[in-house]
Amino acid sequence: MNTLVDIPVERIKQSRISSVDFKTLGFGNYISDHMLVADYKDKKWHQPKIMPFGELLMTPAILSLHYGQSVFEGMKAFKNKKGEVSIFRPQRHHQRLLRSLERMCMPAISEELFVESLCALIAADAAWVPDAEGSALYIRPVIFATESRLGVKISDEYKFVVLTSPVGPYFAKPVRVKVEEHYVRAAEGGTGFAKCAGNYGGAFYPAEQARQAGFDQVLWTDAKEHTYIDESGAMNVMFVLDGKLVTPKLSTSILDGVTRNSLLTLADDMGMPKEERRISIAELKAGFENGKLTEAFGVGTAAVVSTIAIINIDGTDYSLPPDSEASFQQRVKKKLHNIRMGHEPDTHNWNYNVPLK
């Protein structure tokens, strides 16, 4: 793989950064000036290049539009108190990307190409990395089939594109979630563990129904019995139950969240007992009734740690106690933030520094 300096950069003629209100970023509302693009042809990835963000030329017959070969990742870069920029756990994201690509019969991309591409693009758009509390530069790598034909087949051609976006918090306030006991996001043996586009498209309808009923997200249950919690719509889910951190055990229907993995690691560091196991709806109900369920929160790259205030089960709203600085979710969120910002030692080597010069 070429080094970072070998990736050619076509600079935008006029930056759009002046149109960005960095005080009210929202999530995904702005796309940075440049994008990175690389093509896969003749059984190999070719030289990536950085160009102004804009349209890509392709035909309506590309296979990803018809048969769904499209996967992506989501990660963040942060600017610390010294002005240094680092990507959070890019190697772990790369490992998950490889699992998604394999499941979708798509070509692997090397860690070197992946990480160097991220660094080169962030270096080109370093001015877009926000430094306000709770903000970050969201990074969206996506790979999709570009071979143009209508026959049902595995594509022989692909495009790798990386976009970035300055973002604020995904959820600005505690969320209301509804346990979904009819529709299915993913089944064992399917693509639920892969970050592929179809998983999200298929989840829109029940999620929209939940929103129309006054909820922010759904809590997906297992496809076979609708008895056990899988994950939430945009995040993995965790509970503090009887003084322990409890989260659904990974399976082929649950995304292996990088934030999930990070918080489980930090729980060990903080001496918090944890369990990765099946969690039934009945157990949640009992936890509400006997007072042993004290916290529920979603975790993910976008959401980071998002407090769940209400869980609707069988049409009944169950309220969680208000969280506080003493709650585990707030303490672990603060610890993760401090590691990213350089306020605490990065003992797990999670921060990957971006060379900006």
Burial of residue 20 (number of CB atoms within 10 Å: 0-12, 13-18, 19+): middle
Q: How far apart are CA 234 and CA 257, in angstroms?
A: 10
User: Measuring CA to CA, how many Å separate 130 from each of 80, 89, 122, 133?
Assistant: 10, 19, 12, 9
Q: What would the DSSP string read from start to end of 225-264?
A: TS-BEEEESSSEEEEEETTEEEEPPP-TTS---HHHHHHH
- Structural domains of the chain ordered from first start: 4-169 (3.30.470.10), 175-341 (3.20.10.10)
Q: What is the pLDDT along the chain (357 residues), one digit of tens a residue?
A: 344 448 999 999 999 999 999 999 989 999 999 999 999 999 999 999 999 999 999 999 999 999 999 999 999 999 988 889 999 999 999 999 999 999 999 999 999 999 999 999 999 999 999 988 889 999 999 999 999 999 999 999 999 999 999 998 877 789 999 999 999 999 999 999 999 999 999 999 999 999 999 999 999 999 999 999 999 877 999 999 999 999 999 999 999 999 999 999 999 999 999 999 999 999 999 999 999 999 999 999 988 999 999 999 999 999 999 888 999 999 999 999 999 999 999 999 999 999 986
pTM of the model: 0.94
In this structure, are residues 177 and 218 in contact, taking their beta carbons and an 8 Å threshold? yes
Alpha carbons within 13 angstroms on the beta-carbon side of residue 326 total 3
